């Protein structure tokens, strides 16, 4: 009997742990940044964006606050919606990317002529800034998500050029690779190669980090069980699975049966999806929170 009760207790604890996984989600055309419970698919928290704001990156800072870009700037807000800081850009520029640095600070990617990459510390103070001419005149066609690599360089997928550029912290071009498809984002895999989600091409590719050669292409036909629309941000979870943001903003007609998030395992099998358009709307950006509890309101 004791063994039986112990097994039940372990199962209950495991269930509770799984139920605590949350996902911050946002997307172009989505009026909110939302916190979603992965187990139930329900929204636990929402932060309303202002009219005209376009959010394509979202994250949780080391201080436990929410970081997001909104096209004309980037904000950090508390869970009670209090604004910690607000970084705005000039007219004619777009701040499309606000992501985390490996030291706990933040990296802002600003589309413009030239583009700017700004590092901030935890309090929002500027610590490094470089400018770079991407060779694309229209800011809106330059990039959406920029991340810092393990070597501290910036990886910039330039949509209009169908290229990915690696730029160091002094503004020097380290590498440039032509790719198939205008990549929305990037993911540095554990083996050092790059996963590039290619938006309206409806696939993602994996390229060799050193040569830019395409090693693999994954479409809806390869994963079986869900359809790709605009393949936006892709995250790699601690268990090795991939979480794919499946944005439907360029899709005509009803997309009721198309999930907003798709999780696949190492064999390409769909193991989980999110399809809650009634409460969540379009998803192009996500941030995964393991064993997370929403802080109590103060």
Tell whether the model's pLDDT for residue 10 goes beyond 50: no
Q: How confident is the model at residue 225 (pLDDT cuts 50, 70, 90)?
A: confident
Handedness of CA 192, 197, 202, 207 (dihedral sign): negative
E strand or H helix at 2: helix 2-19
CB atoms within 10 A of CB 123: 10
Q: For residue 253, what pLDDT is reported?
A: 63
CB atoms within 10 A of CB 31: 17
Tell whether the model's pLDDT for residue 298 goes beyond 70: no
Structure tokens at 61: 């800072």
What number is the average pLDDT over the span 91-120? Answer: 96
E strand or H helix at 131: strand 126-132
Write out pLDDT tens, residues 110-133.
Answer: 999 999 999 999 889 999 999 999
What number is the average pLDDT over the span 153-168? Answer: 97
Give the burial class of 157: count Cβ atoms within 10 A of its Cβ; 0-12 exposed, 13-18 middle, 19 or more buried: buried
Q: Is the pTM of this model over 0.75?
A: yes
Q: In whole angstroms, give the CA distance from residue 32 to residue 281.
A: 8
Q: In whole angstroms, give the CA distance from residue 248 to residue 283.
A: 8
Closest CA to 49 of 68, 21, 65, 63: 68
CB atoms within 10 A of CB 52: 8
């Amino acid at each position: 009997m004791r063994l039986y009760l112990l097994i039940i207790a372990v199962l209950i604890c495991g269930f509770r742990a799984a139920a605590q996984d949350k996902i911050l989600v946002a997307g172009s055309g989505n009026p909110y940044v939302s916190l979603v419970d992965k187990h139930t698919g329900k929204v636990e928290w929402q932060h309303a964006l202002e009219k005209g704001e376009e959010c394509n990156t979202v994250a949780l800072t080391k201080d436990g606050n929410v970081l997001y870009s909104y096209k004309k700037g980037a904000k950090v807000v508390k869970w009670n919606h209090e604004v910690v800081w607000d970084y705005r850009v000039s007219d004619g520029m777009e701040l499309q990317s606000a992501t985390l640095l490996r030291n706990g600070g933040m990296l802002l990617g600003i589309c413009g002529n030239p583009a700017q990459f700004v590092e901030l510390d935890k309090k929002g103070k500027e610590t490094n800034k470089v400018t770079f001419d991407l060779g694309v005149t229209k800011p809106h066609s330059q990039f959406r998500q920029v991340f810092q690599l393990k070597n501290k360089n910036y990886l910039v997928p330039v949509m209009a050029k169908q290229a990915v550029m690696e730029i160091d912290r002094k503004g020097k071009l380290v590498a440039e690779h032509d790719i198939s498809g205008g990549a929305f984002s990037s993911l540095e895999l554990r083996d050092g190669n790059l996963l590039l989600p290619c938006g309206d091409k409806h696939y993602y590719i994996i390229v060799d980090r050193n040569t830019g050669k395409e090693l693999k292409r994954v479409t809806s036909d390869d994963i079986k069980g869900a359809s790709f629309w605009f393949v936006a941000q892709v995250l790699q979870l601690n268990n090795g699975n991939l979480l794919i943001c499946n944005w439907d903003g360029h899709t005509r007609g009803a997309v009721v049966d198309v999930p907003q998030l798709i999780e696949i395992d190492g064999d390409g099998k769909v193991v989980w999806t999110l399809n809650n358009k009634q409460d969540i709307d379009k998803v192009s950006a996500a941030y995964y929170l393991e064993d997370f509890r929403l802080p109590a309101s103060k």
